[in-house]
Amino acid sequence: MPIKILLVDDHAVVRSGLSKFLMVNKDFKLVGEASDGAEAVQMASLHQPDIVLMDLMMPGTDGITATREIHKKYPKVKVIALTSFAEQNMVQGALQAGAIGYLQKNVTAKELGQAIRSAHEGKMTLSPEATQILANSVAQPQIAGEQLTERERDVLRCMVDGLNNNEIAEALVVSLGTVKFHVSNIFHKLGVDSRVEAVKLAIEQKLV
């Protein structure tokens, strides 16, 4: 049976390129495409893919949140993060959300094919950049507050001030999707599940 694959990326041109790659591999079958995280969760329920190729930076529901949701609801589905970025918070966030692989979009067709087949067998595949980031994070462990980037601190400061996501986006002149992505990262880094907990911890530990 071919490996059933779901593509998740907010750029149609990226999905088009990936779908053409998948179609030339007889052991791969494209079962669906999604343009954001919320749609990805719905498509995972509808098509029950074996593998999800998941972009991380998307408007609306980001890829890390979608990965966590898919992993929770459909643990047999393997998610490979396929992104343009390799930053510590993104690599750790994706893997802790349940991703079995982390690759950058400059990966070769052969490497992507191997990663998909490995993931289907339950084996993890990481880009060299992701591997290095994880090695560095183990060598230099940080406490929660120290892991926040300057932009995440800006977002957290706005949360402490009582601003909602739309107001934060307007105040920082960024998209709503970007704000949601930062909020998700803040929750992960602080080990909390809600805005109230994040604000409480920020005030108690004087993080902002």
Contact 39, 15 (CB under 8 A): no
Q: Residue 175: is its pLDDT beyond 60?
A: yes
At residue 11, the pLDDT reads 93
**Could you give the CA distance from residue 74 to residue 86 in angstroms, rounded to a whole number?**
26
pTM value is 0.69
pLDDT over 80 at 10, yes or no: yes
Q: Are 71 and 118 in contact (CB under 8 A)?
A: no
Selection from 49, 40, 42 nearest residue 9 by Cα: 40
pLDDT of res. 93: 87
Name the residue among 8, 139, 20, 128 with its Cα closest to residue 67. Answer: 8
Q: Is the confidence at residue 32, as pLDDT, over 90?
A: yes
Beta bridge partners of 82: 103
In eight-state DSSP terms, residue 145 is G
Residue 139 has pLDDT above 60, yes or no: no
Token pair for 151: 């932009």
**Is 80 exceeded by the pLDDT of residue 143?**
no
Q: CA 144 → CA 53, 119, 147, 148, 194, distances in Å?
A: 29, 30, 6, 7, 16
pLDDT in tens, 162-173: 999 999 999 999
Own/partner pairs for 189-193, CB < 8 Å, 24+ apart? 189/89, 189/144, 189/147, 189/148, 189/152, 190/144, 190/145, 191/144
Question: What is the torsion angle, in degrees rounded to the nearest 10, for the CA atoms of residue 60, residue 66, residue 72 and residue 73?
Answer: 80
Does pLDDT of 76 surpass 80? yes
pLDDT value for 86: 79
State residue 137's pLDDT score: 66
Residue 145 pLDDT > 70 = no
Give yes or no for a contact between 51 and 5, defined as CB atoms under 8 angstroms apart: yes
Spatial separation of the C-alpha atoms in residues 19 and 16, rounded to whole Å:
5
Q: Which domains does the chain have, with CATH numbers?
A: 3-138 (3.40.50.2300), 144-204 (1.10.10.10)
- For 42-63, write each residue's pLDDT tens digit: 999 999 999 999 999 888 889 9
* Mean pLDDT computed over every residue of the chain: 90
